[in-house]
């Protein structure tokens, strides 16, 4: 991955730019990196604060030969790969918050947004965008309670180029294992080891009802296993519900 690298000092959103390149036929593995975004996107239609000079904003374009229903698992592959790279390079105990946020001391340090262009039975391309709060020293007031950066937590500044390379190297490895296995079985156990939800109470919000349970981690399909008080266990799909409680 990352053989074709596009760097922009400024763009609207690396995801949007990667999708444009995807429409123009860019190859599997194309990587888009930006120094700042003026229309950074978060999940659920939110914006992603993307000031210049401090953070990592990047998106990878993939053309996986997989059925479209496997694409959501790619987001978990990226979360796991990014967590491994951060754990290797920074002296910081980052954790995954299911399905794909990276957190530290209950504050968010990294977010992932996956977008896909697909027909019923095949994927045209997938764009996985990742934003890592690397050297951010302060956040807008509305984020200050919920966001932090590697720099703020470790007191040391992060070499962004080295971390980008580390994330991509790990992702390439994990991606290949994932495609070979067809599911997350090669690293479900490793993912669960650093999953902040594991063994903790989670609140599952579904339209019209709300239930509390204890999370037992993910299964090989990336679903969160939740044990309820009545002894039943349910596998919850990403996107169907939100998980609160941490």
Q: Is position 95 an interface residue for ligand BTN (rule: CB under 6 A)?
A: no
Q: Is position 15 an interface residue for ligand BTN (rule: CB under 6 A)?
A: yes
Q: Which distant-in-sequence residues (6+ apart) come within 8 Å of 239 by Cβ? A: 72
Q: Is position 129 an interface residue for ligand BTN (rule: CB under 6 A)?
A: yes
Tell how many helices (H) and how many strands (E) occur in the chain: 5, 12
Stretch that binds ligand BTN, among 13-21, 117-125, 160-168, 189-197 (CB under 6 A): 13-21
In the complex, the smallest distance separating the C-beta of residue 209 from ligand BTN, rounded to whole angstroms, is 25
Judging by DSSP bridges, how do beta strands 30-34 and 5-8 pair with one another? parallel
How far are the Cα atoms of 36, 67, 138 from residue 54, in angstroms, in the given order? 9, 37, 10
Whether the ω angle into residue 82 lies within 30 degrees of 0, i.e. cis, is no
CB distance 153 to 92 below 8 Å: yes
Return the number of the residue (40 or 166) whose C-beta is nearest ligand BTN: 40
Stretch that binds ligand BTN, among 41-49, 78-86, 155-163, 204-212 (CB under 6 A): 41-49
Q: Which of 6, 57, 98, 178 binds ligand BTN (CB under 6 A)?
A: 57
Give burial (CB, 10 Å; 0-12/13-18/19+) of 143.
middle
Q: Which of 94, 79, 205, 186 is nearest to 148 (CA)?
A: 94
Residues annotated in the binding site for biotin, as ranges? 13-15, 37, 108
Return the number of the residue (42 or 68) whose C-beta is nearest ligand BTN: 42
Q: Which of 22, 35, 99, 111 binds ligand BTN (CB under 6 A)?
A: 111
Judged by the rule CB under 6 A, the positions of this chain that interact with ligand BTN are 13-15, 37, 40-43, 46, 48, 57-59, 101, 111-113, 129-131
């Amino acid at each position: 991955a990352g053989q074709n690298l596009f760097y922009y000092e400024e763009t609207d959103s690396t995801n949007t730019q990667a999708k444009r390149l995807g429409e123009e036929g860019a190859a599997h593995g194309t990587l888009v990196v930006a120094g700042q975004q003026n229309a950074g996107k978060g999940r659920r239609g939110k914006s992603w604060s993307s000031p210049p000079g401090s953070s990592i904003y990047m998106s990878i374009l993939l053309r996986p030969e997989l059925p479209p229903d496997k694409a959501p698992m790619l987001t978990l592959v990226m979360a796991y790969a990014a967590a491994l790279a951060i754990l290797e390079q920074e002296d910081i105990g980052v954790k995954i918050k299911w399905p794909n946020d990276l957190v530290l001391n209950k504050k968010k340090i990294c977010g992932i947004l996956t977008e896909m262009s697909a027909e019923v039975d095949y994927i045209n391309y997938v764009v996985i965008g990742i934003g890592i709060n690397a050297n951010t020293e302060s956040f807008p007031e509305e984020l200050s309670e919920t966001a932090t950066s590697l720099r703020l937590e470790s007191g040391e500044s992060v070499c962004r180029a080295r971390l980008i390379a580390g994330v991509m190297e790990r992702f390439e490895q994990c991606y290949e294992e994932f495609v070979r296995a067809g599911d997350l079985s090669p690293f479900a156990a490793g993912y669960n080891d650093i999953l902040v939800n594991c063994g903790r109470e989670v609140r599952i919000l579904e339209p019209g009802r709300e239930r509390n349970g204890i999370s037992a981690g993910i299964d090989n399909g990336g679903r969160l296993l939740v044990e309820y008080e009545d002894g039943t266990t349910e596998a919850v799909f990403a996107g169907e519900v939100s998980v609160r409680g941490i």
